[in-house]
Chains A and B, each alone.
Chain A
Amino acid sequence: MARAVVTLPARAKRGEIVEIKTLAQHPMETGFRRTQTGELIPRDIIRRFTCTYNGVEVYRADLHPAIAANPLIAFTTIATETGTLTFQWVGDNGYTVTEIAPIRVE
């Protein structure tokens, strides 16, 4: 079960700066740790996070092994028009999670 939570205001004024908070459930296993018997635990991380607003990319982040589990990514964008924001997390072992959130601009 891969879960992600996105929080943003449901409505905003045109031109307003809105804050978006995203939380993705992921262990972010670094690939540097070993088990008690000395075997290397394979790397399992999110590689890239993108946010598109009505199809236009407004935010992108590359993630690396030093980032904590269940990464919280918060950023802002300018409310330009009513539509949808699409959030995507892509990572190792075929991990892909997509969340869609509507925004109403007045």
Chain B
Amino acid sequence: MSFSAGVRFLLLAAACFISAKALTAEIPLGERRSGYELMARETRAIQDDDATNPGMLWVLDGEALWNKKAGAADRSCADCHGDARESMKAVAARYPAFDTARGRPVNLEQRINGCRTGRQKAAPLTYESKDLLALSAYVARQSHGLPIRVTIDERTRPFLAAGKETFHRRQGQLNLSCALCHDDNWGKHLAGSVIPQAHPTGYPLYRLEWQGLGSLGRRLRNCLTGMRAQAPELGSDEFVDLELYLMWRAREMKIETPAVRP
């Protein structure tokens, strides 16, 4: 091996090492950005003003549902929980949370449905239905501006690990992982859109592309379809674990519900 070839080999090896290292790097806490900061000024303005944020229409619907009696028990959410502005403060910021009955973490939608079937003796609301989106938007709105704090302890740690594994696992016909875009290439463009860091700070949120409000589950299914992977069902264990990992990854970031995204 000649001298120059040796140098070239070393440089190549160093380049491989650096890129391999970059592929596994998590975003340092100080460099995390909400998708809000990557949006156009006009889109940020829609979110900033409650008078222009269309997500507020769902929040108002949710408030009406909160006070409406339902099910065989003929009870409303307010009959047990009182004023949501007090009782639901910071609640959404700590979900998914461990549920002892199920022995695993549940997300906010599942918690609401747990209340519906258990306390109100009513039929559970369908995922992505207008009513479930409205109720979860109303509950999450009470955490607006508060930091995300999911509980990571002995009970939730295995599920966090499972979610992290899903985030880093290559899947689908395009052989992509979530991390490949959202950890390694955030800020660059995928077609015309900026790749965000994937922090779920504003769900359920109003996407201009959807022309409506949608849950994090819907967003995850969108991404997986784009990767040409088999998307799990809404509310599946795999999604809730991933949601737990994403919320932990966004720890201490502020809740923006109802956020607006392009």
A contacts, CB < 8 Å to B: 1, 3, 5, 7, 21, 23, 25, 27-28, 68-70, 72, 74
If over half of A's interface residues share one DSSP class (helix, strand or loop), that class is named, otherwise mixed; here it is loop
Assuming the contacts A5-B51, A7-B51, A74-B52, asked whether A68 and B208 have C-beta atoms less than 8 A apart, the reply is yes
Find out whether the CB atom of A23 lies under 8 angstroms from the CB atom of B61.
no
Give the shortest distance, in Å, between B202 (CB) and chain A (any CB): 17
Q: Which residues does chain B contribute within 8 Å of A3, judged by CB atoms?
A: 57, 60-61
* Complex interface bits, B190-218 against A, C-beta within 8 A gives 1, otherwise 0: 00000000000000000010011000000
Residues of B within 8 A of A70 (CB): 54, 57, 211-212
Partner of A1, one of B46, B50, B51, B61: B61
B46 cross-chain contacts in A, Cβ below 8 A: 72
List 10 tightest A-B contacts by C-beta distance, closest first. A7-B51, A69-B211, A70-B54, A21-B51, A25-B57, A72-B52, A3-B57, A21-B52, A3-B60, A23-B54
A-B contact pairs, 14 of them (CB 8 A): A1-B61, A5-B51, A5-B57, A5-B60, A7-B50, A7-B51, A21-B51, A23-B51, A23-B52, A23-B56, A25-B57, A28-B211, A69-B54, A72-B46
- A7 and B49 CA atoms in complex are apart in Å by 10
A23 B211 Cβ-Cβ under 8 A: no
A69, B56: Cα distance in complex, Å: 14
B143 to chain A, nearest CB (A): 21
* B→A interface (CB under 8 Å): 46, 49-52, 54, 56-57, 60-61, 64, 208, 211-212
Report Cα–Cα, A7/B47, bound state, in Å: 15
Chain A residues with Cβ under 8 A from B49's Cβ?
Answer: 21
**Whole-angstrom distance between the alpha carbons of A3 and B61 in the complex?**
8
How far apart are the CA atoms of A5 and B54 in the complex, in Å?
A: 9
B58 — nearest CB in chain A belongs to which residue?
A25
Q: What residues on A are CB-neighbors of B54 within 8 Å?
A: 23, 25, 69-70, 72
Nearest-neighbor residue (CB-CB) of B206 within chain A: A70
In the bound assembly, the distance between CA atoms of A68 and B52 in angstroms comes to 13
A44 to chain B, nearest CB (A): 13
- The answer on a CB contact under 8 Å between A27 and B211 is yes
Instruction: Report Cα–Cα, A3/B51, bound state, in Å.
Output: 13
| Nearest CB in chain B: distance from A5 CB, A | 7
Q: Return chain B residues, CB-CB under 8 Å to A25.
A: 54, 57
A1: chain B residues within 8 A (beta carbon): 61, 64
A3 to B54, CA, bound (A): 11
Tell me whether B211 and A5 are in contact (CB under 8 A).
no
B61 to chain A, nearest CB (A): 6
How distant is the Cα of A20 from the Cα of B166 in the complex, in angstroms? 47
- Distance (whole angstroms) from the CB of B51 to the closest CB of chain A: 4
Alpha-carbon gap, A1 to B49, bound state (A):
23
Besides the known contacts A5-B57, A23-B56, 14 further A-B residue pairs in the complex with CB atoms under 8 A apart: A1-B61, A1-B64, A3-B61, A5-B51, A7-B50, A7-B51, A21-B52, A23-B54, A27-B212, A69-B212, A70-B54, A72-B46, A72-B52, A74-B52
| Smallest CB gap from B46: residue in A | A72
Q: Closest approach, in angstroms, between the C-beta of B259 and any C-beta of chain A?
A: 15
A69 to B, closest residue via Cβ: B211
A66 to B60, CA, bound (A): 26
